Amino acid sequence: MTYNAVLCGCGAMAKGWLRALQATPQMQEAVRVVGLVDLDRATAEALAAEFNIRNAVIGTDLDVVLTETKPDILFDVVIPVARHSVVKTGLAYGCHVLSEKPMATSMEEAEYLRRAAKDAGRVHAVVQNRRFISGVRRMCRLVESGVIGQVTGIHCDFFLGPHFGGFREQMDNVLLLDMAIHTFDAARFVSGKSPLSVYCVETNPVGSWYAHGAAANAIFRFADDVVFTYRGSWCAEGERTSWESAWRIVGSKGMLTWDGEETFKAAVAGTEPGLLHGFTPVDVPPPYNDEETHGHTSVISDFLDAIRTGREPETVSHDNIKSLAMVLGAIESAKSGQPVDIAA
Ligand SMILES: NC(=O)c1ccc[n+]([C@@H]2O[C@H](COP(=O)([O-])OP(=O)(O)OC[C@H]3O[C@@H](n4cnc5c(N)ncnc54)[C@H](O)[C@@H]3O)[C@@H](O)[C@H]2O)c1
């Protein structure tokens, strides 16, 4: 079965989507791009030329392109503030919709879209590509095995200094809204616990080249007394952490650390007498399923399989909204200076 898709938003990230869609013969077979939409026609035309997409309708008005092409799927790769109207339009046309993160810029908008997808009976999912990677799947597998006991704490550090230019340098709450959602979502996934509340201090540090919110420090309470802490900055020059964050997971029997790249260390208590018992290393096994470790390709495959089979995709909007609630709760806490309840 080949699905027809319109891709809306033909900027930098759209290239990643098209690379994913052209990554394997199966994916090329599964999706035909029949339309490209961007506010800037030349951007859409350049994308079509770069990826050799012939016979697609190219336009600047989503309604017009959807009317002309009648696709099964809308791929939404626009900037966050444009997301609500694009997804709403796609669902109204009867499309299944896969959106880039974040799902929305407010809980009201997210709730609206979740309900609209339910009412339309269409699959609505969000790209959280950074949970579809080997390292996150390996952490999950180790936690699930129970070898480090029950998770009691997850602690993530994210310190980089990227100079993007473009919309990120102008937007509010840039780190929380545009990036931290990946780590928040992965922490929720790895712990398997629901987020309950958050306290956050957000700053735009001296020397920042962003307009607002390039750094954030947040403490989350998850269910069952699990604590998740996040310390992050997008204007931290010097030796950086991984884009996936540097992780420490504390369990009742042992700990796991991951540098966000190739290095995992897991250990349980050792047998030395005295103050500190030392530690006994344990193996961190590979992911259960290699298919789930290819970022955008894996997210898109999961979305297509959900349409085909009627099951829910892993990042279905009514679940992903909990990751968005973590981000928006952190923003609200930073504004009020108070902890914010985010229990679903
Ligand atoms: N998952 C990831 O790892 C990842 C990485 C980068 C960006 N993103 C997300 O991808 C999205 C796009 O980011 P980007 O870096 O490609 O931005 P970008 O600015 O490079 O591209 C966005 C494009 O959308 C177009 N656009 C804006 N509003 C539109 C509308 N209403 N209709 C049609 N086109 C419209 C713009 O003209 C632009 O060409 C954002 O939500 C961003 O957070 C995700």
Diameter of the chain by CA atoms?
Answer: 75
Which residues form ligand 1's pocket by a CB distance below 6 Å?
8-14, 37-40, 43, 62, 77-80, 82, 86, 100-101, 127, 129, 166-167, 178
Inter-residue contact 338 to 331 (CB < 8 Å): no
| Strand ranges in 167-263 using DSSP code E only, listed in sequence order | 195-203, 215-222, 227-233, 246-251, 254-258
Which uninterrupted H or E stretch holds 114? helix 107-120
Residue 192: C-alpha distances to residues 226, 265, 343 (Å): 10, 21, 14
What is the per-residue DSSP string for 288-299?
Answer: S-GGGGBTHHHH
Q: How far apart are CA 196 and CA 6, in angstroms?
A: 37
Residue that has been written with the tokens 């806490």 in this structure = 333
Q: How far apart are CA 140 and CA 185, in angstroms?
A: 13
Atom of ligand 1 nearest to the CA of 130: 3
Atom of ligand 1 nearest to the CA of 128: 1
Distance 38 CA to ligand 1 centre (A): 10
Question: pLDDT 10s per residue in the chain (344 long)?
Answer: 899 999 999 999 999 999 999 999 999 999 999 999 999 999 999 999 999 999 999 999 999 999 999 999 999 999 989 999 999 999 999 999 999 999 999 999 999 999 999 999 999 999 999 999 999 999 999 999 999 999 999 999 999 999 999 989 999 999 998 999 999 999 999 999 999 999 999 999 999 999 999 999 999 999 999 999 999 999 999 999 999 999 999 999 999 999 999 999 999 999 999 999 999 999 999 998 888 899 999 999 999 999 999 999 999 999 999 999 999 999 999 999 999 999 97
Q: How far apart are CA 116 and CA 102, in angstroms?
A: 17
Distance 285 CA to ligand 1 centre (A): 36
Q: Closest Cα partner for 229 from 122, 131, 322, 154? A: 154
Identify the residue whose C-alpha is closest to ligand 1 atom 5: 13
Identify the residue whose C-alpha is closest to ligand 1 atom 3: 129
The CA radius of gyration of the chain, in Å to the nearest whole number, is: 21
Which uninterrupted H or E stretch holds 307? helix 296-309
Enter the pTM of the model. Answer: 0.95
The reported pLDDT for the residue numbered 167 is 86
Q: Which residues contact 290 (CB under 8 A, 6 or more apart)?
A: none
What is the per-residue DSSP string for 236-261?
Answer: --SS---TT-EEEEEESSEEEEE-SS
Identify the residue whose C-alpha is closest to ligand 1 atom 40: 79
Distance 113 CA to ligand 1 centre (A): 18
